[in-house]
């Protein structure tokens, strides 16, 4: 069992191949211990090399509503009246701190997801923060 740090894509691929070979090894065996160590190293490398961005706040709300079998009308009373709900969901109005608190409590959406600025996808497909878009309009 030769275990070394994963520093390159080649090391990563080699570690994955080894994990595949010893997958399912019983815990407490030499192969099982090797699997535990390699899995930890692979996870650390992936976390550093391939981070996963948090979802857009509105997308997270829509996803949670879908998971619970509800629609946008379920947000009435949570983040405001019907018009306020539709303004928020269209991206015309940002989430307030009070709305974030209520969404976190009622829908159990992590607050760190909700406090982000909403990303806007322009026609070219690249995400851009809404705040930047409004600043660009003012300077034009």
Would you tell me the crossing angle of helices 30-49 and 9-22 to the nearest 10 degrees? Answer: 140
For the chain (140 residues), the mean pLDDT of every run of 10, in chain order, is 88 95 93 94 94 91 96 94 95 93 95 83 54 48
Cα–Cα distance between 59 and 82 in angstroms, integer? Answer: 19
Coil vs helix vs strand at 117: coil
pTM metric for this prediction = 0.57
What integer pLDDT is reported at residue 3 of this predicted model?
A: 86
């Amino acid at each position: 069992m030769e275990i070394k740090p994963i520093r390159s894509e080649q090391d990563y691929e080699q570690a994955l191949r080894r994990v595949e070979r010893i997958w399912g090894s019983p815990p407490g065996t030499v192969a099982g211990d090797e699997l535990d160590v390699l899995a930890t190293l692979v996870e650390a490398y992936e976390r550093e090399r391939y981070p996963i961005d948090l979802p857009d706040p509105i997308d997270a709300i829509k996803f949670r509503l879908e998971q619970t079998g509800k629609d946008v009308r379920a947000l009435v009373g949570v983040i405001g009246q019907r018009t306020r709900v539709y303004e928020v969901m269209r991206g015309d109005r940002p989430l307030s701190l009070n709305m974030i608190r209520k969404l976190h409590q009622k829908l159990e959406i992590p607050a760190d997801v909700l406090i982000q600025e909403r990303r806007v996808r322009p026609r070219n497909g690249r995400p851009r923060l809404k705040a930047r878009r409004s600043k660009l309009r003012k300077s034009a």
